[in-house]
Structure 1
Amino acid sequence: MSGTEKSKNGSQHRVMLPGHTTIGILGGGQLGRMLTLAGTAMGYRFITLDPAKDAPCGQVARQIEAGYADEGAALELARQCDVITYEFENVDAGVAALLERESYVPQGSSLLYTTQHRLREKRAIEAAGVRVAPYREITSADTMQAAVGELGVPCVLKTVTGGYDGKGQRVIRDAAQALKAYEELAATGAELVLEQFIKFDCEISVVVARSTAGEIKTFPPAENIHVNNILHASIVPARVPADIQLEAQKLAAAVAESMEAVGLLAVEMFVAADGRLYVNELAPRPHNSGHYTMEACATSQFEQHIRAICGLPLGDTTLLSPVVMVNVLGEHLEPVIERTGAPDGDAIELGVIPKLHIYGKTEAKTGRKMGHVNLLCHDVEEGLQWIEQTTIWRNTNS
């Protein structure tokens, strides 16, 4: 199909063909970098807007070096690009609205508005008919005490906006801790929500894509292991029953359809001890737990996002190989790089194929995501064994 049509939510469906289209990316981090690398191979051109000199995405695309709230820079991005996307969800609301007026932003700002706020997000997930952990809005010390009494302990107090990798959260294991946790987070001035702690066997995530034409495809669920609230490894196929994997994909597709998402939506879930699934969080962009798709799937999450926002048919999401993705943090970077300079005896012995991706960040800090390794294997246990045998991640548990 060519030309322009209206979708049911009033957004425009345009087919933006490679070779004739420049894509603007709001944000210049590693997700923008990997979007650019995937899209450049397809024939698209890219411009990123980011305040950091020599940003990871700016190393592979043209860069407008300016702050995210700089409306003049946003207008310049709109002038130079045919379609605009974003690589992180905390986009300045004013800039998002301006770009919608001045350019073509198929993702719109509605999904951003929802996912930037935990309470709006939970209500939207529930509206899709999908289960979330029981929760209560917290507005005072009294509502905090009442909510702890209703939900029980353990429970988790979270800021409604901001917060990632465990920031802006307090786990309450005893009712006596409730007031202190409330006072600490209330002091930030943020709105708060209390969630019942779900006893879960594991955490999984599904990256789902929805195109401007309304086509939806899901990637295989990833089983995620976190260490110190940072994603350590993603295991695919997830080590959960096939019916749970299928249900997770159906739930992710239902959320994307209900919210009329465009592009990628990562849907994080808990698998409870009784097999029930609870959606924990959404991310309207490429996701760390979807990096395994770069070598292990017929289409990567990054190519899929480009296809979705440009109105192309979505790509095949078939898993081609079992895979384990392991994050490379600042403390892992040098030994991982050094390891690439010699034959990898562990990989040869285990039959594992390591694929290294480095993000081009200028400073390696402990706990900072600097890259990842995709381990293609015959069985995911081989990939996990490679991680253990290298001893690079010796202080983490997989």
Structure 2
Amino acid sequence: MSRVQPTLGVLGGGQLARMLALAGAPLGVRFLVVDSAEDACAGQVAPLLRADWRDFAALEDFARRIDVATFDFENVPAETAHWLVEHTRVFPNPRALATAQDRLAEKTLFNAIGLATPAFAAVDTRADLERAVAAIGLPAILKTRRLGYDGKGQFRLKTPADLDAAWEALGAHAHGLILEAFVPFEREVSVIAVRGRDGDFRTWPLTQNWHADGILSMSLAPAPQAGALAAAAFAHARALAERLDYVGVFA
């Protein structure tokens, strides 16, 4: 049932959920956060329902108390999002969530919409790794397909002698690996975009990013001298949002 003050349910109670609640409160939006951690930081500023992602009895209560659901981060199980769709409105949709969780699915989609990527190959076995290296060449980066962040779950291969160490470090990952060609680059820029339910699409100016040890350390917005990149970046973001029927903000 619609409420005078809408209630947004957020799966995940981390920093992004906390900032979302702080930004939404002046707009008259109420929040209800679900997280398995009792001390999730979003609980400092919004009601917190402590529950596991697969506790569907708790999630049913959650769905009854909100008008729409979203996610604090991309590693909420896709099956939970699919379940929620049957009980409330969910944005972004489960397909977009599932794609963002898997580097192989993500890059395959990028290629399908004409967004260039480094050469890549799925790696599930030690023999797959050797075949991928033979096809892609070195240097290359071996990554976990899921759950990698801040430089974690990655191994840089410089010579064939690195294959054993790379496989020992990452080969047991349950969700498989991906080998990506190494791309020397001058700088990294990112685009933040938003798409509404009516298809209206907007972007913010490009942001330039600097990393230290694989972790984002500084961003500058707008990115200097990025005019030539902006049109291409915005077009790629729009194509991606439309292919996924994405509703919400993404980067």
TM-score category (smaller protein): over 0.9
Pairing 1:184-203 to 2, within 5 Å after superposition = 184-203=169-188
Match of 2:12 in 1: 27
Equivalent position SS for 2:186? strand
Whole-angstrom distance in 1 between the partners of 2:23 and 2:110: 30
Pairing 1:112-123 to 2, within 5 Å after superposition = 112-123=97-108
TM-superposed deviation, 1:129: 1.2
Mark the structure with the bigger radius of gyration: 1
Match of 1:140 in 2: 125
Equivalent position SS for 1:252? helix
Pairing 1:31-180 to 2, within 5 Å after superposition = 31-180=16-165
TM-superposed deviation, 1:141: 2.3
After superposition, give the CA deviation of every residue in 1:262-286 in whole Å (9 maximum; x if it has no partner): 11121xxxxxxxxxxxxxxxxxxxx
Letter in 2 for 1:144: L
Residues 40 and 241 (structure 1 numbering): CA distance in 2 closer, same or farther, change over 3 Å? closer
Letter in 1 for 2:249: L
Letter in 2 for 1:183: E
TM-superposed deviation, 1:250: 1.9
1:204 pairs, out of 189, 194, 199, with: 189
Q: Is the 8 A contact 2:6 2:67 kept in 1?
A: yes
Q: Structure 1 length as normaliser, TM-score?
A: 0.60
TM-superposed deviation, 1:18: 8.7
TM-superposed deviation, 1:195: 0.2
The number of residues matched between the two structures is 251
Residues 97 and 190 (structure 1 numbering): CA distance in 2 closer, same or farther, change over 3 Å? closer
TM-superposed deviation, 1:39: 1.2
Match of 1:303 in 2: none
Q: Is the 8 A contact 1:51 1:67 kept in 2?
A: yes
The gaps in structure 2 that reach 5 residues or longer are none
Residues 94 and 237 (structure 1 numbering): CA distance in 2 closer, same or farther, change over 3 Å? closer
Q: Structure 2 length as normaliser, TM-score?
A: 0.94
2:238 pairs, out of 211, 236, 253, with: 253
Q: Is the 8 A contact 1:19 1:43 kept in 2?
A: no
Q: Is the 8 A contact 1:19 1:44 kept in 2?
A: no
TM-superposed deviation, 1:47: 0.8
Q: Is the 8 A contact 1:25 1:46 kept in 2?
A: yes
Pairing 1:201-350 to 2, within 5 Å after superposition = 201-266=186-251
Whole-angstrom distance in 1 between the partners of 2:26 and 2:142: 44
Whole-angstrom distance in 1 between the partners of 2:191 and 2:4: 31
Equivalent position SS for 2:130? helix
Aligned structure 1 segments of 4 or more residues deviating by more than 6 angstroms: none
Q: Is the 8 A contact 1:106 1:212 kept in 2?
A: no
Whole-angstrom distance in 2 between the partners of 1:75 and 1:200: 47
Equivalent position SS for 1:200? coil
Q: Is the 8 A contact 1:136 1:147 kept in 2?
A: yes
The gaps in structure 1 that reach 5 residues or longer are 1-15, 267-398
Equivalent position SS for 2:191? strand
Tell me how large the CA RMSD over aligned residues is.
1.8
Whole-angstrom distance in 2 between the partners of 1:104 and 1:147: 41
Letter in 2 for 1:194: L
Equivalent position SS for 2:90? coil
Whole-angstrom distance in 2 between the partners of 1:196 and 1:218: 29
TM-superposed deviation, 1:130: 0.8
Whole-angstrom distance in 2 between the partners of 1:164 and 1:212: 29
Q: Which moved more, 1:65-74 or 1:118-127?
A: 65-74
